[in-house]
A = this chain, B = another copy of it.
Amino acid sequence: MTIPGEGQINSVGEFGLIAEITALLPQGENVLIGPGDDAAVVTAPDGYVVATTDMAVEGIHFRRDWSSAAQIGQKISAANLADVVSMGARPTAMLVAFAAPRSLPVQWAMDVTIGIRDEAAKMGASIVGGDLASNEKIVISITALGSLDGRQPVLRSGAKVGDRVVLVGTTGLSAAGLALLNPSEVIDSIDADNFEELRAAHRTPKVEYELALAFAKCGAHSMCDVSDGLLADLGHVAQSSGVRCRIDPRKLDVSKLTDAALKLGVDPLMWALTGGEDHAFVGTIAADVELPDGLRVIGDVVAGSGVEVSGLDVSKWQAGHDHFQSTGR
């Protein structure tokens, strides 16, 4: 008798692992053909499909000693779903390419799949296919598909002078959590248990998918997901749209950041303005549109270029990440 999840992946082999993983994957109503053939077939009801891909590498995007397999899967899944939602689209399906060392426990591979699956299920998306390969480090590359259901995509380039800048979700929690996970003398000296919510936000961000879709549906002119930090991602909107975006920093919610910032001696606004992995959404919308509850107006759009934070010199803070130049993520 084979016990699911037992042993290392080299003991069950590629096809055994595929079988164990596939058994975890119910297929939703968007799926005509799921895993097991050369390709999947997914509905695209309005004649268009939204598609995005994100690759996560162990030691850079995640650490097995900081997060469980399910948490890692959930977070990578969220990054892909957020990219689909930021176009104003409903996620429908995912494909997952997974490279891992042969010694990886089967249970880890199953748990990461469960994490990816469960986060995708929040938006009704199924894992419809994938691929396996061996590599010294774990590499997870997800492609997410989505449907606009007849709407126009919400682009980075649609911001207009006179728009309000709107934030969906809260930024900075994940960056604060990362700072609290990084071992240091300061971290050791503070009561770690006080900040479990921030660490949890780094491990598994709570993404406001439905609120972002509601923002799109009520007529957002532009949107992108905050994966590189609010300054950097709003900067993409400003650049693509040929406008200047102004943020009023008093409009940012730093209430959950202030205690930890004080302990670590940092400005909570640095986390809120440069932290990326919360997968909040930032966009712009005309001044006269009534907004759904839960959206936060944080600024406005004027003629010019770039991003300005009123009363604050933000040039001292690194804006966004560069995977080939930074030593960080």
A98 contact set on B, CB distance < 8 A? 55
With the chains together, A156 CA to B324 CA distance in Å?
42
**CB interface residues, A 44-63, toward B, < 8 Å:** 44-57, 60-61
Most chain B CB within a 10 A radius of its CB, from A14, A102, A137, A324: A324
With the chains together, A204 CA to B74 CA distance in Å?
37
| Cβ of A284 to closest chain B Cβ, rounded Å | 15
Q: Does A325 contact B (CB under 8 A)?
A: yes
From the candidates B10, B51, B83, name the one contacting A143 in the complex (CB within 8 A). Answer: B51
B145, A96: Cβ atoms closer than 8 Å: no
A45 contact set on B, CB distance < 8 A? 47
With the chains together, A41 CA to B54 CA distance in Å?
16
From the candidates B9, B60, B322, name the one contacting A13 in the complex (CB within 8 A). Answer: B322
With the chains together, A148 CA to B56 CA distance in Å?
31
Q: Does A268 contact B (CB under 8 A)?
A: no
From the candidates B12, B42, B135, B139, name the one contacting A48 in the complex (CB within 8 A). Answer: B42
With the chains together, A9 CA to B325 CA distance in Å?
9
**CB interface residues, A 182-224, toward B, < 8 Å:** 224
Q: How many copies does the complex hold?
A: 2
B39, A52: Cβ atoms closer than 8 Å: yes
A102 contact set on B, CB distance < 8 A? 324
User: Interface digits, A230-243 against B, CB 8 Å rule (1 contact, 0 not)?
Assistant: 00000000001000
With the chains together, A33 CA to B224 CA distance in Å?
14
A53 contact set on B, CB distance < 8 A? 95-97, 129-131, 141, 143
Q: How many residues of A contact B (CB 8 A)?
A: 75
Q: Does A225 contact B (CB under 8 A)?
A: yes
Beyond A48-B42, A51-B95, A56-B133, is A14–B325 a contact (Cβ under 8 Å)?
Answer: yes
Extra inter-chain contacts (18) besides given A13-B322, A49-B145, CB under 8 Å: A13-B324, A14-B322, A37-B155, A38-B84, A39-B87, A41-B48, A41-B148, A42-B49, A51-B51, A51-B128, A52-B129, A53-B143, A54-B97, A97-B141, A102-B324, A135-B135, A135-B139, A136-B136
The contact sample of 23 A-B pairs, CB cut-off 8 A, is: A9-B324, A32-B153, A33-B87, A36-B240, A37-B87, A37-B157, A38-B82, A38-B224, A38-B225, A39-B84, A41-B48, A46-B47, A51-B143, A52-B95, A55-B97, A55-B99, A55-B132, A55-B133, A55-B139, A60-B134, A132-B323, A135-B139, A136-B136
Chain A residues with CB under 8 Å of chain B are 9-10, 12-15, 17, 32-33, 36-57, 60-61, 82-84, 86-87, 89, 93, 95-99, 102, 128-137, 139, 141, 143-146, 148, 153, 155-157, 224-225, 240, 321-325
